Chains A and B, each alone.
Chain A
Amino acid sequence: MIEVDHAHKSFGKVHAVRGVSFSVPKGSVVGVLGPNGAGKSTTIRMITGTVPPTRGSVRVDGLDSIDQSLKVRRRLGYLPESNPLYPEMRVADFLAFRARLFGLSGKARKAGVDRAISRCWLDDVRSRRVGQLSKGYRQRVGLAAAMLHDPPVLILDEPTSGLDPAQIAETRQLIRELAGDHTMLIVSHILPEVEKSCDRLLIFARGRIQADGSADDLLRDLAQRQGFAVEVKAANGAPKTSMQAIAHIEQVESDPNGRSGDGWHALRVIVDKAAADPGAVIGGACRELGLTVRSLRPATATLEALYIRLVEQADKATAKVSEQRKPEGEAA
């Protein structure tokens, strides 16, 4: 439904998005994560056609987002990041205005407005002015405006920002309901939000996609990379070097966070991907080497840990590049 192909966007010397590619199949719900300034919003704006890519292309439903912009916009429901609204308008009037812009008239407009109002729980405030509403209600008005014309694709930029926990839960519920028959892109930096409501995550940092996959896959991958925390006591010799020699064990290092001393060694052990049961491999290795094991547990892999790791990696990579470039007198 959405295909982003090597899209690159620079504003003068600033490269906001550096060659991003991904595709979102019909009906899937994709979460877009990343720190501020990672290129998320610029990527979204390239999809909505407000910012044309400097290089590369963006297609929605097979249509080019620039050349066939009007057709693309008809297929999109978009909730912009700051959810800008006209404060002087009444809720129902505002929604009717948006519906008119999307070419809905007569009965279709009325039906669209009524449906959006009831789906976003706006019945109580339909004749109130937008400017007098609480932030939570305003956010719902923005959501209602995005889904008015029943678009096949919904793009929600920070849909729960500024909401209280009860409203966040309601909005998540709504997103789950909409997920059934819509292709969705949800931008957020609230990790549990995307973890719970998305089938797939894209993690952005420094204008690039650093990770792409389902939350489970990404976490499994991270768990593999983080390995196991093991505490062992050796009768003689250093367990670190002897374990390294065992098949399937890729890397062994001291774990600075573990409890060492008194003859115990806290280690971090990474098993290669070929091993079906990494825990069993480590257990077997300890038995083979005659080590006493006090504890053996997989390092906890959380989305937070993954996110921080990816962002730090991207920052380091960028720092390295600018370090290398400096002697040539080139600014990064």
Chain B
Amino acid sequence: MGATLTVAWREYASFFRSSIGWLVIALYLFLSGLWFAYDSITPGQPASMRALFSVSQWLLLIVAPAISMRLLSEELRSGTIEPLMTAPISDWHIVIGKYLAALAFLITMLLPTLIHVGVIELLASPDYGPILAGYLGLVFVGACYLAVGLFFSSLTRNQIVAFLSTLFFFMLLVFISSPNVAALVDEPFRSLLFGLSINLRIADFAKGVFDTSHAAFFLAFVVLFVVLSVVGVESRRWR
């Protein structure tokens, strides 16, 4: 645990010492704030943050891979992976530490958007249930993006390749699980494709529905890709 947190803390701190960390935060807050102002603070609109959550889901598709792309790729490129792999810590410590750091950074990035909740509170009386569920959904979907991003980052020393692979992976997932495409195949494959859809699950969260099956899906998704990342790192020892 100590070693995991040591790796995580170093990584988390390094986000704030790199320009990409601040750029990612600025980009996300600017675009999500713009959307919130345009869509939610309009007379006649319900006092909800649904617009922010639905646009954030797409913004995170770009932002999360930009956070995760450097996690292991940068260590591989600069060679710092070697001293890390010769320290008396297991590859699990390295990978889980890196993942926790990215997740903590993502949550840090979402925190300033709580201002929007305050703004809505000033103008109207919002229902806090859907807002809480919406934030939970964002963290879940972000956690999925980061896990896949971490995996691709364990395979390449090139950050751009890690970024694009992650983006491509999720675009493909969105495409094959979209209603139009999934409808082309027969049951039971259709249900399987719909089951893979992150959008459908996140839509429930945005509506304020907390479904434990969705939570279980996201958790399993994250665990799978963290394990694959460990395999990716470990394979360096055998190549």
User: Are A and B a genuine interacting pair, yes or no?
Assistant: yes
What residues of chain A have their CB less than 8 Å away from a CB belonging to chain B? Answer: 11, 48-52, 70-71, 73-74, 76, 78, 80, 82, 84-86, 88-89, 97-98, 100-103, 105, 145
Cβ-closest chain A residue relative to B17: A88
Interchain CA distance A97-B10 in the complex, whole Å: 8
The answer to whether the Cβ of B191 comes within 8 Å of any Cβ in the partner chain is: no
> With A70-B90, A73-B86, A102-B87 as given contacts, are A86 and B6 in contact (CB-CB < 8 Å)?
no
Q: Of residues 43 to 88 in B, which have CB atoms within 8 Å of A's CB atoms?
A: 78-80, 82-88
> With A97-B10, A101-B6 as given contacts, are A80 and B79 in contact (CB-CB < 8 Å)?
yes
The answer to whether the Cβ of B173 comes within 8 Å of any Cβ in the partner chain is: no
Which of B2, B14, B83 makes the CB contact (< 8 A) with A88? B14
Which 9 A-B pairs have CB atoms at the shortest separation, nearest pair first?
A84-B79, A88-B17, A101-B87, A73-B88, A100-B6, A84-B80, A74-B88, A48-B86, A70-B88
Interchain CA distance A103-B2 in the complex, whole Å: 8
Q: Which residues on the A side are within 8 Å of B82 (C-beta)?
A: 50, 80, 84
Q: What would 27 A/B residue contacts be, using CB atoms closer than 8 Å?
A: A48-B86, A49-B237, A51-B237, A52-B238, A70-B88, A70-B90, A71-B88, A73-B87, A73-B88, A78-B86, A80-B79, A84-B78, A84-B80, A84-B83, A86-B80, A88-B17, A88-B18, A98-B87, A100-B6, A101-B6, A101-B7, A101-B84, A101-B87, A101-B88, A103-B3, A103-B88, A145-B83
Interchain CA distance A82-B236 in the complex, whole Å: 18
Q: Which residues on the A side are within 8 Å of B83 (C-beta)?
A: 78, 80, 84, 98, 145
Q: Which residues on the A side are within 8 Å of B6 (C-beta)?
A: 97, 100-101
Interchain CA distance A189-B78 in the complex, whole Å: 23
Interchain CA distance A76-B83 in the complex, whole Å: 11
Q: Which residues on the A side are within 8 Å of B3 (C-beta)?
A: 100-101, 103
CB distance from B128 to the nearest CB of A (A): 39
Q: Of residues 86 to 120 in B, which have CB atoms within 8 Å of A's CB atoms?
A: 86-90
Q: Which residues on the B side are within 8 Å of A84 (C-beta)?
A: 78-80, 82-83
CB distance from A103 to the nearest CB of B (A): 7
Which of A73, A74, A82, A89 makes the CB contact (< 8 A) with B79? A82
In contact, B90 and A50 (Cβ under 8 angstroms): no
Interchain CA distance A71-B88 in the complex, whole Å: 7
Q: Which residues on the B side are within 8 Å of A98 (C-beta)?
A: 83, 87
Q: Of residues 208 to 239 in B, which have CB atoms within 8 Å of A's CB atoms?
A: 236-239
Q: Which residues on the B side are within 8 Å of A100 (C-beta)?
A: 2-3, 6
Q: Which residues on the B side are within 8 Å of A97 (C-beta)?
A: 6, 10
> With A52-B237, A100-B2, A101-B3 as given contacts, are A76 and B86 in contact (CB-CB < 8 Å)?
yes
Which of A11, A51, A102, A145 makes the CB contact (< 8 A) with B88? A102
Interchain CA distance A52-B84 in the complex, whole Å: 16
Q: Which residues on the A side are within 8 Å of B79 (C-beta)?
A: 80, 82, 84
CB distance from B79 to the nearest CB of A (A): 4
Interchain CA distance A11-B237 in the complex, whole Å: 11
CB distance from A44 to the nearest CB of B (A): 10
Q: Which residues on the A side are within 8 Å of B86 (C-beta)?
A: 48-50, 73, 76, 78, 80
CB distance from B204 to the nearest CB of A (A): 40
CB distance from A106 to the nearest CB of B (A): 12
CB distance from A314 to the nearest CB of B (A): 26
In contact, A85 and B89 (Cβ under 8 angstroms): no
Interchain CA distance A34-B87 in the complex, whole Å: 27
Q: Which residues on the B side are within 8 Å of A78 (C-beta)?
A: 83, 86
CB distance from B237 to the nearest CB of A (A): 6
Q: Which residues on the B side are within 8 Å of A145 (C-beta)?
A: 83
Interchain CA distance A78-B88 in the complex, whole Å: 12
CB distance from B33 to the nearest CB of A (A): 28
Interchain CA distance A84-B7 in the complex, whole Å: 16
CB distance from A265 to the nearest CB of B (A): 57
CB distance from A17 to the nearest CB of B (A): 15
CB distance from A234 to the nearest CB of B (A): 64
Q: Which residues on the A side are within 8 Å of B239 (C-beta)?
A: 11
Looking at A82, A97, A100, A101, the one whose CB has the most chain B CB atoms below 10 A away is: A101
Q: Which residues on the B side are within 8 Å of A103 (C-beta)?
A: 2-3, 88
Cβ-closest chain B residue relative to A149: B88
CB distance from A105 to the nearest CB of B (A): 8
CB distance from B36 to the nearest CB of A (A): 33
Interchain CA distance A294-B43 in the complex, whole Å: 113
CB distance from B233 to the nearest CB of A (A): 11
Q: Of residues 123 to 168 in B, which have CB atoms within 8 Å of A's CB atoms?
A: none
CB distance from A162 to the nearest CB of B (A): 15
Q: Which residues on the B side are within 8 Å of A51 (C-beta)?
A: 237
CB distance from B138 to the nearest CB of A (A): 28
Interchain CA distance A80-B87 in the complex, whole Å: 12
Q: Which residues on the A side are within 8 Å of B87 (C-beta)?
A: 73, 98, 101-102
